[in-house]
Amino acid sequence: MSGKTVWGIAGVVLVLVGVISLAIWLTGSKGAQKQASYFADSTPAAGETLPASPIALVLNFTQDVASVTSFDVLSESDSSATFDTLQPAEIDQLKTTVRRAITKPLEDGQYRVTYEVCFADTTCDQGSFTFKVDRTQLMGSDFIDKRGQQTVLVELDQLAFSPKKIIVSPNTTVTWRNAESVEHYVNTETHPYHTYVLDHNSRGLGKGAEFSYTFVQPGAYPYHCSAHATVMTGMIVVDG
Ligand SMILES: [Cu+2]
């Protein structure tokens, strides 16, 4: 083999190695840059079973959302179910939150939510989760039936909402009153985003302080106290 041929082969090999490394670097960096994992949580939560339809699908992220590529729900129980009453996807004023309002209550069943949103850094995050609606939960003794009352009182006492789970009629005003010296809050899901129903969030409530919210739309309204988020939870179901 002549010296020229050896150098020729070495040159070709060198160019090939260069091209292959460039290709690996390009696809590698592109892949890493494209897929973000900024998803924080959602209402309904992944795997949650609600005792009535949610009034919105809400996704929370750890970065400001720049655009929503897709945000859909389908029924895994009824393939013929349609969701034409679902409102378009919206990015909240607080840009870490994306929502779709539900104007017509979902039937009992299992649902799958899929989404893809993109961020200012041009990365995107796609994902999917399921939740269930099961109104048979309302028939248990957990729920106190307060339907037909215009105003309902819930006390905050001994690190709990009392009653913890209630059913009310549409347009009922629920008032929460703190009965003890520990400061409590009334906060919509999730913790700590508090984005499901933006007006269902109180300031810190000292002893004797009250917070009221009027529930208009039928559906499930899970909530908690942000000072005791893991133990102090409640549920309002508006049943029309
Ligand atoms: Cu509390």
Residue 223 C-alpha to ligand 1 middle, in angstroms? 11
Residue 13 C-alpha to ligand 1 middle, in angstroms? 69
pTM: 0.85
| Confidence at residue 170, expressed as pLDDT on a 0 to 100 scale | 98
In this structure, the strands spanning 233-238 and 165-168 are parallel
Residue 189 C-alpha to ligand 1 middle, in angstroms? 14
| Confidence at residue 7, expressed as pLDDT on a 0 to 100 scale | 67
| Confidence at residue 240, expressed as pLDDT on a 0 to 100 scale | 82
Distance CA 236, CA 147 (A): 11
pLDDT-based confidence at 126, cuts 50/70/90?
Answer: very high
| Confidence at residue 31, expressed as pLDDT on a 0 to 100 scale | 47
Q: What is the mean pLDDT of residues 204-227?
A: 98
195: left (phi over 0), alpha (psi -120 to 50) or beta: alpha
Residue 162 C-alpha to ligand 1 middle, in angstroms? 12
Residue 218 C-alpha to ligand 1 middle, in angstroms? 26
Q: With 70 as the cut, is the pLDDT of residue 16 above it?
A: no
pLDDT digits (tens, 9 = 90+) for 28-48: 544 444 788 999 999 999 999
Residue 160 C-alpha to ligand 1 middle, in angstroms? 7
Looking at this protein, which amino acid is placed at residue 156?
L
Q: What is the mean pLDDT of residues 97-116?
A: 96
Residue 63 C-alpha to ligand 1 middle, in angstroms? 28
| Confidence at residue 32, expressed as pLDDT on a 0 to 100 scale | 47
Protein residues within 5 Å, CB atom, of ion ligand 1: 184, 225, 227-228, 232
Residue 159 C-alpha to ligand 1 middle, in angstroms? 6
Q: How far is CA 103 from CA 4, 53, 88, 93, 106, in A?
A: 77, 10, 11, 20, 9
Distance CA 189, CA 58 (A): 10
Residue 233 C-alpha to ligand 1 middle, in angstroms? 9
Q: Do the beta carbons of residue 168 and residue 236 sit within 8 Å?
A: yes
Question: Taking Cα atoms as reference points, which of 190, 194, 197, 195 lies closest to residue 216?
Answer: 197
Q: With 60 as the cut, is the pLDDT of residue 26 above it?
A: no
Both tokens assigned to 32: 């890493």
Instruction: Please report where in the chains the tokens 């939740």 appear, as a residue.
Output: 131
Instruction: Please report where in the chains the tokens 């959302």 appear, as a residue.
Output: 65
Work out the mean pLDDT of the chain and round it to a whole number.
Answer: 91
Both tokens assigned to 19: 């091209």
- Return the bridge partners of 188, or none: 223
pLDDT digits (tens, 9 = 90+) for 51-86: 999 999 999 999 999 999 999 999 999 988 888 778
| Confidence at residue 14, expressed as pLDDT on a 0 to 100 scale | 65
Residue 21 C-alpha to ligand 1 middle, in angstroms? 57
Poorest-confidence range of 7-16, 51-60, 123-132?
A: 7-16
Q: What is the mean pLDDT of residues 146-158?
A: 98
Residue 183 C-alpha to ligand 1 middle, in angstroms? 6
Q: Sort 170 into a burial class: Cβ within 10 Å, 0-12 / 13-18 / 19+.
A: middle
